[in-house]
Amino acid sequence: MTELADLSELARRRGFFFASNEAYGGTAGFYTFGPEGAALKRNVEEAWRDHFIRELGHMELEAPTVMPEPVFEASGHLDTFDDMILECGDCGATHRADHLVEDAVADIEDAEALPPERVADLVAEHDVACPSCGAPLADRPVDEFNLMFGTNIGPGSASPGYLRPETAQGIFVEFPRLKEYARNQLPFGVAQIGRAYRNEISPRRALVRVRELTQAELEHFVDPERDDPPLERVADVELPLYSAAAQQGDGGLETYTVRKAVDEGVVGSEWVAYYLGESMSFYERIGVDTDRFRYRQHLPGELSHYAADCWDAETEVGGDWVEVTGFAYRSDYDLRKHAEYSEEEFTVFRQYDEPKTVERATVDPDMSYLGPTFGEAAGDVADALEALARRDRSAFESEAQRVSEETSGDTPRDGDAVTVEVDDESYTLPVEKTGFAVEERTESGEHITPHVVEPSFGVDRLVYSVLVHRMETDEVDGEERSFLALPAGMAPTSVAVVPLMTKDGLDDRAHEVAEELRAAGLEVAYDDTGNIGRRYRRQDEVGTPYCVTVDYDTLEEDTVTVRERDSTDQERIAVDELPSAVRRLAAGATLSEL
């Protein structure tokens, strides 16, 4: 069987993951993590939390998975979170058009970056057929399909909402409160591990493309003019980089240190380069094979609407490269858009080194005019005028500037008008009724909109990659053995206790040893079914790093045999030293060092 077929068989049989709702025919794009897979996934999440939250000193929150429609209007997801869909005219099956092109055209690896019109042309040029029924798809329209799951909040349809397509927006919308916890001091980071939902057109390749997924995202808020990353932490970390220039030319994968990548401009953002470096140790810790790993820069056509530069961490599985993490410099896009749509303050106060005299635009609306003219909307119009003056004073003074020689000071002439938007309604009034003026003030600081650096990890794909990369075979006692060479800290079970026999009190003592290890905080399996060799093989197959065998010497000497998974070496250890010995082994010690 192929590598991925072997994993699929192992995943179902040993409880790592399997298609959900199979009793009802299954639901494409949804997977259940079984006992082994849930434990492995939890360990990967905890390793991420340990590094990116605890070690780096960031905060963590947990936001709702359902959010109201205005959030996604502001974020741009309602307009831009689309994939290309193509429907077969014969059988009615729907397919993701860019994937069809990638499967049919050998030299196109990223059709997603192409416009729909070009994808439709390629479908026709290469006689792409429907994978379901074989009918030709030429001349079928390629449309855009929004991937968000819609719902209603409360009864009826008055409050539309969506299942979040990323966890990031749950952080951004809470920025006005989160900055208080950070004492209004930049930089600070906020992380979240949680579920996201994407109504994929054609879910496929097991955990690679699903409709419900787990993300681990960090939003690092920085002052773009003052905050520099601590590059010295990772300056010498080596990065396998596949740059946009290499993809568009004849280049290939090249290895750079973080420092060299920044100095030579291969990675344009120092903050992105910093997180590329920080992430390498995490990938190694959870068991990604770094010989099957790279960082690939987004091509210009791939860049998200918010990203100035973006790199993907990719792993090779089954001969294909799979994105497992996106690293983006999102600038101030998210906070600026949420401020615009919500009319809340998404800024922090930056203290000047010394007070400055600056010009500020102000308004003092004539409410005796606004009230009769706009009725109940008068107060909102006044607020909108104030926000507009802060954001774009030229909206008030542009006409005045054109006749500045005919007027005195900054007072606009009669007849100038300004328009504001309130709840999708436009309101126009004379500038003279706004009380607009430009004043000189002495200020001790200013409000700035932070920029955001985002590493976003796909937990499910990382788990899948680790399983693929850690499947190994060898020969033990003349028989082929399959085992998962998982790092000890990632293995679903820390140690398995196996009695040599289930008689003469061996099984009773083995149960006692297992309970003692559980009381010490270790994940413990107990197995007394079948011969001892078969039990070892079962534990090897699910990646258990150590097996503890209770035998007759245990009853006399209170010692046990500890067997190491990868080498199958064994060592005799006293029972009372066993918990600390297992911890030392998991931290990197060898059996001979115990």
| pLDDT reported for residue 401 | 47
Question: What's the pLDDT tens digit per position in 16-48?
Answer: 999 999 999 999 999 999 999 999 999 999 999
Highest mean pLDDT among 156-165, 442-451, 511-520: 511-520
Confidence (pTM):
0.86
How big, in percent rounded to 5, are the helix, strand and coil portions of the chain?
Answer: 40, 30, 30
For residue 307, name the pLDDT band (cuts at 50, 70, 90): low
Q: How far apart are CA 79 and CA 232, in angstroms?
A: 40
Q: How far apart are CA 582 and CA 20, in angstroms?
A: 35
For residue 443, name the pLDDT band (cuts at 50, 70, 90): confident
The order of strands in the sheet holding 160-163 is 66-68, 160-163, 150-152
| pLDDT reported for residue 305 | 62
Asked if residue 406 has pLDDT above 50, the reply is: no
Two structure tokens written together for 375: 């009725």
Matching residue, tokens 């300004």 = 418
Asked if residue 221 has pLDDT above 90, the reply is: yes
Strand-pairing partners, residue 337, are: none
| pLDDT reported for residue 592 | 81
For residue 398, name the pLDDT band (cuts at 50, 70, 90): low
For range 144-151, the mean pLDDT = 94
Question: What's the pLDDT tens digit per position in 158-188?
Answer: 899 999 999 999 999 999 999 999 999 999 9
Contact status, residue 554 vs residue 562, Cβ threshold 8 Å: no
Matching residue, tokens 């699929």 = 8
212-226, 300-314, 378-392, 454-468: segment of lowest average pLDDT: 300-314
| pLDDT reported for residue 79 | 87
For residue 402, name the pLDDT band (cuts at 50, 70, 90): very low
Asked if residue 257 has pLDDT above 80, the reply is: yes
91-100, 387-396, 459-468: segment of lowest average pLDDT: 387-396
Asked if residue 409 has pLDDT above 60, the reply is: no
For each of the domains in the chain, give its residue range(s) and CATH number, in order of start: 3-79+148-332 (3.30.930.10), 82-146 (3.30.40.230), 348-448 (no CATH), 484-593 (3.40.50.800)
Q: For 141, which DSSP code?
A: -
Neighbouring C-beta atoms of residue 264, cutoff 10 Å: 9
Average pLDDT in the chain: 92
Contact status, residue 564 vs residue 591, Cβ threshold 8 Å: yes
Question: What's the pLDDT tens digit per position in 72-129?
Answer: 999 999 988 899 999 999 999 999 999 999 888 888 877 888 889 999 999 999 999 9
Q: How far apart are CA 518 and CA 338, in angstroms?
A: 48
Contact status, residue 95 vs residue 86, Cβ threshold 8 Å: yes
| pLDDT reported for residue 106 | 82
| pLDDT reported for residue 411 | 43
- Give the residue with greater pLDDT, 398 vs 169: 169
Asked if residue 343 has pLDDT above 50, the reply is: yes
| pLDDT reported for residue 275 | 98
